[in-house]
Chains A and B, each alone.
Chain A
């Protein structure tokens, strides 16, 4: 507990390895009660669980939650019976997959025959745990487009595809893309053709142009700087798909203010819009990650102007390509070499 982004980014800490299912609600109530009683009330920005955990420390927080939990258990009221868990679970059953061979002759043939399709499969299709099925990630990041935007016609098309090819289920991801969770491998090419016809087959999932951006100053009253036009410029700068694959997995997250809706703290490259005396500036962080090695990015140095920031991103990418070993990902290179090579290339020439 105690994790969160916003103006005070913190990585959550573990206070209980495992809580029995039946006690889950009581345990959460214990957490909420400790927070309610001891959380900060003097400053609304500090009225957060993460602030309490940070101030008293995770050991003390754990001790208090456990003590409260013991009291709540005595009352025994918030017990979650296993039959209730089973009743709820019934609503989340996987769909009835067909029994299929894992290998699809149709797919193998199409991959060989259609190079664009093969590229799309490589970046946008993920493995499914059920044989013969695949997961399709629909990129809402066309080159130069607004990250996460989708027209009503595209929505209609996607809904139709989901209905016909993916058990009528469509998911929206926090990375501002869509996911068809259960597509038969033999249907992948048909799905691809339909997506392509609606401008939804950009093959860039996980690549540098698959950025997260908040609405920014163009749409948001809280923002200090624009996010969307910057994301569009970066997308255009790195438009070449061969180059994107050469760069590999790289997540750029942009927020137009410290509230961090674009999750910039956990972008491999994070961009934060700030206002300095009425002028938009962009602060850049490196090394953030929202994976199993969660990290808050490090500020690389003084902020860049609107005119400088896309070049700065390019310099960071070029520096990475220069120091990476054995095709390691940007984030792995950063974890190995640290911030210094990037600082040097960004600021010594200025």
Chain B
């Protein structure tokens, strides 16, 4: 697997640990179950911590802990299960989460741009994905109708700006 963070291929500095595994000294990602079972210990930990949510485990379950959580990994069990898109937007928009939101699981190239638009800033991809493939797919669409958390200007706002400019030119 490769990790792309903010558009750059990077080494993964987090280790995803199983529920029975010993925690490493450095940054770690645990399951929601482990987070809930060891919440006090994990909150007090002196290293970055991430929580991995499966499809069906909503961000509301960790809403009160987001101040302490550095990363939320959202699972796409299969490409046609898009729940994590909603989870990502809820994390960003409803809970104002500023940490990393990472797409894991069945992360396909034709969905890269939609994931970015919904607030994912890191994607775990298969080894065959190259920077060229990333660039091609992460920028497939240049204009958007739907406003989202990526702050991209929508077609509507561009139109309004053009109309305002036309009015200014007409009066000038």
Contacts and interface: CB of A to CB of B under 8 A. Distances in A.
Interface string A235-259: 0000000000000000000000000
B55 A41 contact: yes
B100 interface: no
A36 B81 CA distance: 8
Interface string B90-133: 00011000000000000000000000000000000000000000
26 contacts: A33-B86, A36-B82, A36-B83, A36-B85, A36-B86, A37-B58, A37-B83, A37-B86, A37-B87, A41-B55, A41-B56, A41-B77, A41-B81, A41-B83, A44-B80, A71-B94, A75-B93, A77-B147, A77-B148, A78-B146, A78-B147, A81-B156, A81-B160, A84-B156, A84-B159, A87-B159
Interface of B: 55-56, 58, 77, 80-83, 85-87, 93-94, 146-148, 156, 159-160
Contacts of A75: 93
A270 B87 CA distance: 43
A241 B58 CA distance: 62
A36 B148 CA distance: 16
A48 to B, nearest CB: 13
Contacts of B94: 71
Contacts of B82: 36
B62 to A, nearest CB: 16
Interface string A57-75: 0000000000000010001
A41 B80 CA distance: 9
A207 to B, nearest CB: 43
Interface in A68-99: 71, 75, 77-78, 81, 84, 87
B132 to A, nearest CB: 31
A4 to B, nearest CB: 19
Given A33-B86, A37-B86, A41-B55, 17 more contacts: A36-B83, A36-B85, A36-B86, A37-B58, A37-B87, A41-B56, A41-B77, A41-B83, A44-B80, A71-B94, A75-B93, A77-B147, A78-B146, A78-B147, A81-B156, A84-B156, A84-B159
Nearest to B81: A41
A75 B147 CA distance: 11
A81 B157 CA distance: 10
Nearest to A33: B86
Nearest to A75: B93
B55 to A, nearest CB: 7
Greatest chain B CB density within 10 A among A41, A44, A71, A84 is at A41
A12 to B, nearest CB: 23
Interface in A144-194: none
Interface in A1-53: 33, 36-37, 41, 44
A36 B84 CA distance: 9
- Which 10 pairs from chain A and chain B are nearest by CB? A77-B147, A36-B86, A33-B86, A41-B81, A37-B86, A75-B93, A36-B82, A37-B83, A84-B156, A36-B83
B119 to A, nearest CB: 12
Nearest to A41: B81
A61 to B, nearest CB: 16
A87 B156 CA distance: 11
B126 to A, nearest CB: 22
A256 B80 CA distance: 28
Contacts of B156: 81, 84
Contacts of A41: 55-56, 77, 81, 83
B111 to A, nearest CB: 14
A20 to B, nearest CB: 17
Contacts of A87: 159
A81 B94 CA distance: 23
B161 to A, nearest CB: 13
Interface in A104-126: none
Contacts of B146: 78
A37 B147 CA distance: 20
A65 B101 CA distance: 25
Interface string A194-223: 000000000000000000000000000000
